A and B are shown apart, each in its own frame.
Chain A
Amino acid sequence: MTAGRLAGSSRHGEPWRVGVLFSQTGVTAVVEETQLRGTLLALSEINEAGGIAGCEVVPVIYDPQSNDRNFARLSHRLLANDGVNVIFGCYTSSSRKAVLPVVERLNGLLLYPTLYEGFELSPNVIYTGAAPNQNLMELCAYLLAHYGPRFHLIGSDYVYPRATNQLMREVLADSGGVLTGETYISLNADRRDLVPVIAELRRTRPDVVFSTVVGDPTIHLYQAYADAGFDPRLMPIASLTTTEAEVRAMGCAVAEGHITAAPYFQSVDCVANTEFVRRYQRRYGSDEPTNMCVEAAYYQVHMFARALAQTRTIETDVLREKMLGATFEAPQGLVEINAASSHTTLWTRIGRATRSGQFEVIRQSARPVVADPYLVGYGRTAPHA
């Protein structure tokens, strides 16, 4: 038996051990590595400030290589062999779904710092990224009002884009939108796979291309789009997943004018964010952008640490109770983990990519928005359409 799980606490001066599962290789490594960095930055801040109850918080880090089976296997190893209860990790919904049965059966706690498609509510997960009512609904309304009703949906071929597009189709159908096409490309798609998509867009000329493409193919999509000469002022790519990290990888000029909805952009103007960006860039380089996934990965570790400082035990049932209902002044603004849903009350923002690789915030909620993972309180009509 390992000490961490035996004691569930650090009474004997042993470090607190936590698991970290973000891919450092494979197709979604670009953004998952930034989540790893956000996690490690927060951990080092906590340890530099003396740790929790006088003990360091030490991460056990594995690279699941963008492979869902590895996520399942490694989460099992963390919980069963490494004496870990709490795991920070997962980007894709398919990886979260691979980890879910393991943390549920062994009563671990997954802190999941990524937007996702909703319709989930596990007692063993705390969701710190956006649910659809916190990004998709506002984005859709904005696009209908400013660009027009004709949408082409393009996504990577896995559970998140398909579930998100199903919702998008419903909202469009009910808000006077028109679907001009729907395309899925492989998670490993290369430049050539986009040729038919570009040809179709040239033919159908939608008002908006709504993208839930993730990982490296994001870069190919935007580059092929620019090469085709499409003008983002007239026909933008609107995304829930394209962050500053992908923009940097594809080139700022390529991304300029395209639109993303997210709770956080590096350009958010508040003291907490200025400090966060400064510390992030001091550690990782002055030209390294932050993004919504880094930010969630970062603030969720701090919220965990605050709860742990109060409970002084890392036992799941005790820690979860302390985290539920907690508030935190995150870089995006004040956030709160909703006790009923285990999801986080977040800011809704719409940003337009600028030439410098940042997003200019063009719309923002007046206050943080409560997550509604099952969309109980939402119709299907876009809010202002």
Chain B
Amino acid sequence: MPERPAAGTRAVADPPGILVAVPRDADGDFLVRELQRTRARVQHIWPPPATLPDGADVIFCDVAAARAGCLPWVPGEPAAALVVVAGVPADLAALRDCAPDAVLHRPFTTDAVAAALTLARSHFDYVRRLQTRIARLEETVRSIRNVERAKSILMSTRQMREDEAYKLMRSQAMSLRVPIGTVAATIVDGGAASALCAMTAREAGGDAPG
């Protein structure tokens, strides 16, 4: 369902919360200053606790600390975009195992910090969109099963034509403001009789004049 904000009222995102877990040296201070220049809310933590706090939008983390397990998630279920600050020389296996969205090498520069921040957020958001898409596809696969089955039930128990059965489910979904899969699941799921009674009652109510 397209929901466009009215012209001129385009929402401005809150400034991101950024957690920085790198040593408090000249590079670390520079990084914090650069991030603050982006209007971000920046919190510098060092030495890192056993587990970094939740709630940040982006985490900049020293690779050794991340490898030691201070990130508040397991790879594959990140809660924030992750920029790993690589060591010298870079430990490639450690970089890969931290599963970051971007990498920052020393010495930090203004451009490198900005690029890492931008890429990390973009990559993190993209992966999240893909995961959402997969979840919706899985849900759709399940609901197609239910809709097909519910259609057959309606056709045989209420002598409906195929298009009538679909139409009934669609109208129920609209009036109840639920996905059509939910209506279908109610019909299929053992409670077919009661679901139909409820529907019929509502239909009758809806169709009755006055």
Contacts and interface: CB of A to CB of B under 8 A. Distances in A.
Q: Are chains A and B native binding partners rather than an unrelated pairing?
A: yes
Contacts of B142: 119
Interface stretch (B71-79, B159-167, B169-177, B202-210): B71-79
Interface in A290-325: none
A145 interface: no
Interface residues of A, number: 30
B29 interface: no
Contacts of A356: none
B17 to A, nearest CB: 23
B76 A105 contact: yes
A375 B142 CA distance: 10
A170 B189 contact: yes
A172 interface: yes
Interface in B64-106: 67, 74-77, 91-94, 96-97, 99
B51 to A, nearest CB: 11
Main secondary structure of the interface of B (DSSP, over half): helix
B91 A1 contact: yes
A310 B77 CA distance: 34
Contacts of A374: 141
B192 interface: yes
B149 A380 contact: yes
B74 A73 contact: yes
A169 B189 contact: yes
Contacts of A104: 76
B145 interface: yes
Which bracket fits the contact residues of B?
20 to 34
B76 A80 contact: no
A79 B189 CA distance: 41
Given A1-B91, A2-B93, A170-B149, A102 B76 contact: yes
Nearest to B187: A173
B198 to A, nearest CB: 17
Contacts of A248: none
Interface string B140-164: 0110010001000100000000000
A375 B67 CA distance: 41
A104 B131 CA distance: 12
A255 to B, nearest CB: 29
Contact of A173 (B75, B77, B189): B189
A154 to B, nearest CB: 16
A340 interface: no
Contacts of A79: 75, 97
Interface string A360-385: 00000000000000110001100000
B50 to A, nearest CB: 13
B22 interface: no
Contact of B93 (A5, A75, A172, A375): A5
A380 B77 CA distance: 34
A106 B77 contact: no
A106 B192 contact: no
B207 to A, nearest CB: 28
Nearest to A100: B76
Interface in A142-175: 166, 169-170, 172-174
Contacts of A235: none
A106 B97 contact: yes
Given A100-B76, A169-B190, 19 more contacts: A1-B92, A5-B93, A76-B74, A79-B97, A80-B97, A81-B97, A101-B75, A101-B76, A102-B75, A102-B77, A105-B76, A106-B96, A170-B189, A170-B190, A173-B190, A174-B149, A179-B190, A374-B141, A380-B188
Interface of A: 1-2, 5-6, 72-73, 75-76, 79-81, 100-106, 119, 166, 169-170, 172-174, 179, 374-375, 379-380
Interface of B: 67, 74-77, 91-94, 96-97, 99, 138, 141-142, 145, 149, 153, 188-190, 192
- A-B pairs, 4 with minimum CB distance: A101-B76, A105-B76, A1-B93, A80-B97
12 contacts: A6-B93, A72-B74, A72-B77, A101-B76, A102-B74, A104-B76, A105-B75, A119-B138, A119-B142, A172-B190, A173-B190, A379-B149
